Amino acid sequence: MIITQGDITTFDGDAIVNAANTRLEGGGGVDGAIHTAGGPRILEECRLWVAANGLLPTGEAMVTGAGNLSCDLVIHTVGPIWAEHDEESAHRLLASCYRRSLELAAERGCTSIAFPNISTGVYGFPKRPAARTATATVEVWSDENPDLDRIVFMCFDAENLSVYSALLDS
């Protein structure tokens, strides 16, 4: 696992993960940044997926092309809104976001993936507990599935970078 601070839309690898909403319509934060940088093709693919499948449930993930981004794929996952779940359910759903994203990347032959800090923005998931769930889930999954050899936590801000760095240093 690699931890860095930066803009996930500039990741040069196979896949990036988008912290999406259930409607896959684009929004604020990382979701808005990915849709803006990737261009309209991503939104078109999302709309087609929703038309065929309905809303994307919390904890699940789906894949689109990357449009104008430098990666090949965008894996959209819906993290839990902290205030809408009890603590155990929120952690279970967040872990599912990471696990499902990794599974979809592996199914498509990816060897590299970058994650944002899912649910820690407007969805209100506390940063430290979210980082513990994220790193623990990724560590267990990668021990069992070594084909994804570059898993990056792309922290947008210094606070998340500090939280993730402290976890991996311990």
Q: pLDDT (tens digit, 9 = 90+) per residue, 87-116?
A: 999 999 999 999 999 999 999 999 999 999
Please tell me the predicted confidence (pLDDT) of residue 170: 65
CA distance 7 to 16: 11
- Residue 164: give its domain's CATH number: 3.40.220.10
Print the domain residue range for 66. Answer: 2-169
In the chain, how many domains are there?
1
pLDDT, tens digit, 9 for 90 and up, residues 50-64: 999 999 999 999 999
Residue with tokens 């070594």: 146
168 vs 60, which has greater pLDDT? Answer: 60
Choose the catalytic residue: 31, 86, 147, 169.
31
| 31: annotated active-site residue | yes
Residue with tokens 């696990």: 99
